[in-house]
Amino acid sequence: MLDNLKYIHQRDGQDALGIAERQWRQLQHEFEKPKIDGRFDSIVFAGMGGSALAGLLSQSWPGYSLPFEICRQYHIPKYVSDKTLFIASSYSGNTEETLSALAEAEAKGAKIVVIAGGGQLQETAEAKNYPLMLIPKVEQPRYSVLYSLKALVTILEAAGLVQEAQATVSIHQAGDFLKQKVATWTATVPTKDNPAKKLAEELAGKSIVIYGGPLMAPAAYKWKISFNENAKNVAWWNQYPEFNHNEMIGWASHPIEKPYGVVDLRSNLEHPRVQKRFEVTEKLLSGRCPSPNVVEVQGETILEQLLWAVAFGDFVSIYLALLNNVNPAPVDLVEKFKLELDK
């Protein structure tokens, strides 16, 4: 089925595979560098769902020299003050939790920067002269994660808050790395030579659990989003070493045969003890937990590995959508939920 291009084109009507193939270009999109003055003692990033992903990824790369927190609710942390850089992120610009958090941050006198693709958030930024990073149009918010990451890194660099020198240059150059890698996962590459198609077939018909170490945890979370929204296939995630302190025990009980597909995102850049934890866990849970589909993340740097993992998960989840006989792009239930919430 996954080598039938006619079927793929019929089912993937909004070209999710094409978006995944071209996403490397988002890393080379040039945002105008904003002017951000002030001395800060904290950074708060407000966003929900796909719009929070850039904040999660940024914790692994490029990292922070100040306390950093992601706000995924209506209320902001109590410590927010006029010494806080507050970044409000919403692709639609109408995410109610983010708008609520923004209003509270304004009341605290925080320095506001906006990442948005339109909506009320863009209108607010333009009306109040907040620095605005305008995200180009994509089909769904989750498809704009690399735009958002580039925008966030541009903000941090402008504010002098990024640890890595020339981070925007690094992320631009990483686009060429990703372009090369995604070429091996496209629809025209047959299943026998296509690791993304192979993994999708392994996971078909199962509930999916994705695990990563601290560096790859944001990518594991992105996989969870992608499987749920692209494949309409329930998925969860967790990270090591926390997994070994509780969740591992849950796998040890009956029944032996469990209807799950387990994916381990393993990086050779994780702490050596984290790498060993994956190996020991697989050994101890052998016969009790489905054997993990081990994905050895590729890349020489943390940035390259994060991008590789995010993009690979996108392809796997889209191919699983096709195996599930669903259109990867729409999230109709989410839209229905929003309408019901407003009644």
**Catalytic: which of 35, 137, 245, 343?**
245
Phi, psi values for residue 322, rounded to 5°: -65, -40
Alpha helices by DSSP H, the chain: 5-11, 16-22, 53-60, 96-107, 119-128, 145-158, 167-182, 195-203, 217-229, 247-251, 272-284, 302-323, 332-341
Q: Which of 71, 40, 41 is nearest to 56 (CA)?
A: 71
**Catalytic: which of 75, 128, 336, 338?**
338
Q: Is there a contact between 98 and 70 (Cβ–Cβ < 8 Å)?
A: no
Residues 6 or more apart whose Cβ sits within 8 Å of residue 57: 145, 149, 218, 219, 222, 306, 310
192 included as an active-site residue: no
- Cα 58 to Cα 163: distance, rounded to the nearest angstrom: 11
338 included as an active-site residue: yes
- Cα 221 to Cα 310: distance, rounded to the nearest angstrom: 9
- Going 23 to 332 to 137 to 129, the CA torsion angle's sign is negative
Q: Which two tokens stand for residue 158?
A: 């402008």
- Cα 166 to Cα 153: distance, rounded to the nearest angstrom: 10
Q: Which two tokens stand for residue 185?
A: 């996962």
**Catalytic: which of 97, 164, 229, 270?**
229
29 included as an active-site residue: no
| Distance, first Cα to last Cα, the chain | 42
Which sequence positions are flagged as catalytic?
Answer: 229, 245, 338
